[in-house]
Amino acid sequence: MRTTVGIIGAGPAGLLLARLLHNAGIDSVVLESRDRAYVERRQRAGILEQATVDVLRAAGAAERMDREGLRHDGIELRYDRRRHRVDFPALTGGKSVMVYAQTEVCKDLIALQFEEGGPLLFETEALAVEGAETEHPRVRFRHGATGAEDVLECDWVVGCDGFWGVARAAVPSAVGRTFERTYPFGWLGVLADVPPSHDELVYARHDRGFALLSMRSPSVSRLYLQVPEGTDAGSWSDEEIWSELERRFETDDDWTLRRGPITQKSVTPMRSYVHEPMRHGRLFLAGDAAHIVPPTGAKGLNLAVGDVVTFARALVHRAGTGSEELLDAYSATCLRRVWQAERFSYDMTTLLHRAPDATPFDDRLQVARLDRIAGSRAAGTDLAEAYTGFPIG
Ligand code: RFL
Ligand code: PHB
């Protein structure tokens, strides 16, 4: 098998990259280890930055998003039983975000790829990237149906295979460097068949821990609770989840949390991670394969989009001009945006979560930081600009 760009992974990064390349007349093959139903059902991100929305529209992949996505002009910060709304358009000169789930973005891109794009092979696991330093890198992979091994010969390989993928391992440790931080807590996330209890996202800081109210549609709520690292989702009953959410979201006014049937429960660990550089020879890393952020800033999916847009532009530039200057700049260009997202995600995480060893001093500092955001236009603007997203490239 032969192609111009071998793409490992059919998450948002790999699927969008295949679409962008197809639109530019560049052929690709996508290899995905899981089956289609799994990829379309995996619950993850929910917030699309303005730049992500613009990219999906320009790629011709936004028809359903524009019908079903919910435009949000702000978020609520909740602490000390008080509520503060951060107004995005007012603070950023008109920017907003879109609530449209990652599962839906993936479904839309998969459908388009099957209708119009190149091969997208599910249940096909990449085993290794070979020859990254040569003109003809290869991906060794295994066909799911037969178990037979095969090789995909490429001009370029893009590792969009997430944090646990194989692409990153093809960068020799002598040239790569990693930066990492883990957090002593995770998120218990639930989906519930109940209309969201607020029309915007609510990020709550509470002495018992963080809570987040988000949504998937006008009739489906997505809720998260900070839990200790290593928590088993099954150890929380539905009743315990609702009463803990109620406590953490409590206010002095008459706001109430609507309860409904919980249809899914899972725990996500929290990690900050960056691999530098994001390129080795003709292998490029994009999305979670190169970096992870804790979900508090809603940045993971948006970073993946920025990476693949940057790669596609660079390859199109090379095809048009013969110049590799943008490909050479790929890693540095992406990393500038990645580190801003790392900083923001870290700030949001430490602003809102209660560490197991937190002292009363730490608690007061968090409230002071929140008061600052609520009371200063400059501080509010800083949050609003970062949340609605930094430009790509
Ligand atoms: P993905 O989505 O992980 O996709 C990688 C794909 O590669 C496949 N794969 C392989 N395929 C072939 N051969 C191999 N050897 C392979 N190894 C792996 C995998 O099956 C998968 O389909 O990475 P991508 O495309 O870079 O997209 C990144 C986003 O998915 C991610 O940043 C966000 O979802 C992060 N994230 C969240 N971000 C938010 O902004 N808000 C959230 O609420 C949020 N929740 C989450 C998350 C990430 C989670 N992970 C990684 C466990 C919740 C979870 C549980
Ligand atoms: C979500 O809806 O899943 C979501 C929203 C905002 C976040 C994280 C997750 O910061």
Q: Give catalytic status of residue 269 as yes or no.
A: no
Q: Quote the pTM value.
A: 0.97
Output the tens digit of pLDDT for each of the chain's 393 residues. Answer: 999 999 999 999 999 999 999 999 999 999 999 999 999 999 888 899 999 999 999 999 999 999 999 999 999 999 999 999 999 999 999 999 999 999 999 999 999 999 999 999 999 999 999 999 999 999 999 998 899 999 999 999 999 999 999 999 999 999 999 999 999 999 999 999 999 999 999 999 999 999 999 999 999 999 999 999 999 999 999 999 999 999 999 999 999 999 999 999 999 999 999 999 999 999 999 999 999 999 999 999 999 999 999 999 999 999 999 999 999 999 999 999 999 999 999 999 999 999 999 999 999 999 999 999 999 999 999 999 999 999 998
Cβ-contact 198, 76 below 8 angstroms:
yes
Specify if 151 maps to a domain: yes
Which is catalytic among the residues 100, 183, 203, 330?
A: 203
Q: Where do we find the tokens 């430490």?
A: 350
56 lines ligand 1 (CB under 6 A): no
10 Cα: distance to centroid of ligand 1 (angstroms): 9
214 lines ligand 2 (CB under 6 A): yes
Rounded Cα–Cα distance for residues 361 and 365 (Å):
6
Specify if 10 maps to a domain: yes
222 lines ligand 1 (CB under 6 A): no
Query: Cα-flanking dihedrals φ and ψ of residue 361, to 5°?
Result: -60, -45
Supply 330's token pair.
């790929």
Specify if 242 maps to a domain: no
Specify if 379 maps to a domain: no
Task: Let me know the angle formed at the C-alpha of 157 by 298 and 29, rounded to the nearest 5 degrees.
Answer: 90
Domain CATH number, residue 294: 3.50.50.60
Specify if 354 maps to a domain: no
Cβ-contact 110, 36 below 8 angstroms:
yes
Cβ-contact 11, 162 below 8 angstroms:
yes
Q: Give catalytic status of residue 95 as yes or no.
A: no
Residue range(s) defining the domain that contains residue 322: 5-73+98-179+271-347
Q: Is the sign of the CA dihedral 26, 27, 32, 37 positive or negative?
A: positive
295 lines ligand 1 (CB under 6 A): yes
298 Cα: distance to centroid of ligand 2 (angstroms): 5
Specify if 108 maps to a domain: yes
Q: Tell which atom from ligand 1 comes closest to the C-alpha of 299.
A: 40
For atom 7 of ligand 2, the residue with the nearest CA is 298
Specify if 116 maps to a domain: yes
Specify if 382 maps to a domain: no
Cβ-contact 79, 205 below 8 angstroms:
yes
> Of the bound ligands, which one is closest to the alpha carbon of residue 34?
1
Q: Residue 382's pLDDT is what?
A: 98
Give me the number of domains the chain comprises. Answer: 1
